[in-house]
Amino acid sequence: MDDLTIRVSDLEHTYPGQDRPAVDGMSFEVARGEVFGFLGPNGAGKTTTQGVLTGLLRGWRGTVEVLGRPVGAWGPALYDRIGVAFELPVGWPRLTGREDLVHFSHLHDGPTRDVDDLMAEVGLAAAADQPIGTWSKGMRMRLNLARALLHDPGLVFLDEPTSGLDPVNVATVRSLVLTAREAGRTIFLTTHDMATAAAVCDRVAFVVDGSIAASGPPRALQLAHGESTVRVVHRKDGGLTTSTFPLGSAPAELVALLASGSVETIATNEASLDDVFVSVTGRQL
């Protein structure tokens, strides 16, 4: 059995009327059961690539296989095999959460999950019979995830699932992603939230100008694109100051500082995925 869920080779796409391709010779693979982060600045080609992978975009060139078959060979059956949660919160205001998911369950040809169990999984059980129009944005974003998981797909596309959410809801979304991975699903995560990408992704790819500029496990990229340091906050001249030293060495100045009795705090620092983003893309978040 093929261990790849997605295989992309030499993908190119240029929108009508445009001189430059939105995607320019992109190649990558996503293994079965991994969380793959697709990262990069606006306009880099992420949405175009996702449109190809989900069968929504035509006129591209190259090779694209999803779940072991060319994406174009699936037809409508693809949408019973993949789940998609777009960036915007969803839901018809006059329907309850349960009614919304029951409605969507009728759109699938195969079996779907128990709606009450699914709502409990995404933390919406208490609001199941409340009109969606009374829900918060975070609740409606979790409904979006529930729709994507409703038919138990093997591959789930998540587009900015933490956009505009408070820390509690961000933590909930991260937990749901990790739970989906533990269940054997493959997650294709498109996000500008580098902290979430670092927390949940097995691998990430940085997209710049329609091609992949760097890819690998977040930890490996952080080590490759940044310098680890020791940061020491200490008293000096009646106030506090910070001194930074390379990690892995003990220069005389650091040794003397530690022995001086003036140290308030000491911590190690390493490049974050935000730093990798800036280094690889040349753009600020």
Domain boundaries, the chain: 4-223, 227-269
Q: What is the pLDDT of residue 244?
A: 87
Are residues 186 and 6 in contact, defined by beta-carbon separation less than 8 angstroms? yes
Token pair, residue 85, equals: 């949660």
**pLDDT at 28 exceeding the cut of 70:** yes
**pLDDT at 12 exceeding the cut of 90:** yes
**pLDDT at 1 exceeding the cut of 50:** no
- pLDDT tens string 102-130: 999 999 999 999 999 999 999 999 999 99
More confident residue, 82 or 281: 82
**pLDDT at 5 exceeding the cut of 70:** yes
The CATH classification of domain 4-223, taken from the options 3.40.50.720, 3.40.640.10, 3.30.470.30, 3.40.50.300: 3.40.50.300
Secondary structure (3-state) at 120: helix
- Region 220-232: mean pLDDT is 84
Residues contacting residue 25 through CB under 8 Å, at least 6 positions apart = 10, 11, 12, 62, 210, 211
**pLDDT at 285 exceeding the cut of 60:** no
- Region 42-70: mean pLDDT is 95
User: Could you tell me the pLDDT band of residue 2, with boundaries at 50, 70 and 90?
Assistant: low
Residues contacting residue 277 through CB under 8 Å, at least 6 positions apart = 39, 194, 206, 283, 285
Helices (H), the chain: 46-53, 71-74, 97-105, 115-121, 137-149, 167-182, 194-200, 218-224, 252-259, 273-281
Supply the Cα-derived Rg of the chain in whole angstroms.
Answer: 23
Secondary structure (3-state) at 100: helix
Token pair, residue 35, equals: 């969380």
Residues contacting residue 88 through CB under 8 Å, at least 6 positions apart = 144
**pLDDT at 18 exceeding the cut of 50:** yes
Per-residue 3-state assignment (H helix, E strand, C coil) for 26-74:
EEEEEECCCEEEEECCCCCCHHHHHHHHCCCCCCCEEEEEECCEEHHHH
